[in-house]
Amino acid sequence: MPRVKVQRKSTAIDMTAMCDVAFLLLTFFILTAKPKPEDPIKAEVPQSIITQPVPDDNMATLTVGQGKVFFSVDGTDVRKQLLQQMAEKYQEKFSQAEYDRFAVTEVFGVPFNALHQFLALTSEQKKTYQQPGIPNDTTSNNELFNWIREARVAAKVLHNKELRVSIKGDSKEEYPTIKKVIGILQKQKVNKFSLITALRAAPKK
């Protein structure tokens, strides 16, 4: 009787399906990922149990840390409009290139008269440039007040929606700075705003 020969099978696996899945996932992650805006200062937000996510658009964020305040607003069209209004208010001229560059600037924190210089920086230089923060002294007509006010006007004009204002504060930030920012908001009757927090991990039992 002849011995039954066990047929030797190839060890190579067909990788095509696996490759398909892997690249599908890769494409998904690349498309859904939203680049994190580079914060000019390290703001470690405090934790809370709130689970309401930050809305994706129509939002102005005031980043507060180390006594400095930075401003950012969503939407390139709003930013462009905002700079136009600010230029009008402060009698300043900006070139078209500067408008375009401001429209893609996520966060900034420089006094208005230093804006020309700030916009001229390349993205590499911006990383190392120490932004002094937006002046926010206690007088009622300070720059931060005007930035917020004009941003609200711009959002209203372009989207016909009330701009939501949120404060993103560093957890170590002393209260007087926060108080000043809240005071500025209250002066223009923004009595409802959001505090940005991180989700607190479930307590260990």
Least Å distance between CB 2 and another protein?
24
> Residue 33 interacts with another protein (CB under 8 A)?
yes
Give the residue among 119, 139, 138 at the shortest CA–CA distance from 129. 119
Q: Which is nearer to another protein, 119 or 151 (CB)?
A: 151
Least distance (Å) from another protein to the CB of residue 184?
11
Residues 199, 142: Cα–Cα separation, whole Å:
34
Nearest to 195, CA basis, from 182, 204, 205: 182
Tell me: does residue 46 bind another protein (CB under 8 A): yes
Cβ distance 83 to 150 under 8 Å? no
Binding string, residues 142-171; x marks residues near another protein by CB under 8 A = ------------------------x-xxxx
Q: Which long-range contacts (CB under 8 A, 24 or more apart) does 172-179 make?
A: 172/44, 173/64, 173/65, 173/66, 173/67, 174/67, 177/64, 177/67, 177/69, 178/64
Q: Which of 175, 202, 204, 205 binds another protein (CB under 8 A)?
A: 175
Q: Reduce the DSSP state of residue 187 to 3 states and report it.
A: helix
Asked if residue 128 binds another protein (CB under 8 A), the reply is no
Query: Is 55 or 111 the residue whose CB approaches another protein more closely?
Result: 55
What's the closest the beta carbon of residue 33 comes to another protein, in angstroms?
Answer: 4
For residue 64, list its beta bridge partners: 69, 169
Q: Is 41 in the site for another protein (CB under 8 A)?
A: no
Using CA atoms, how far residue 64 sits from 3, 128, 169, in Å, is 82, 19, 5
Q: Could you tell me the smallest distance in angstroms from the CB atom of residue 67 to another protein?
A: 12
Binding string, 13-32, against another protein, x = CB under 8 A?
A: --xx-xx--xx-xx--xx-x
For β-strands 59-65 and 68-73, DSSP reports them as: antiparallel
| Residue 67 lies near another protein (rule: CB under 8 A) | no
| DSSP β-bridge partners for residue 73 | 60
Interface residues with another protein (CB under 8 A) are 10-12, 15-16, 18-19, 22-23, 25-26, 29-30, 32-34, 36, 45-55, 64, 166, 168-176, 178-179, 182, 185-187, 189, 191-200, 203
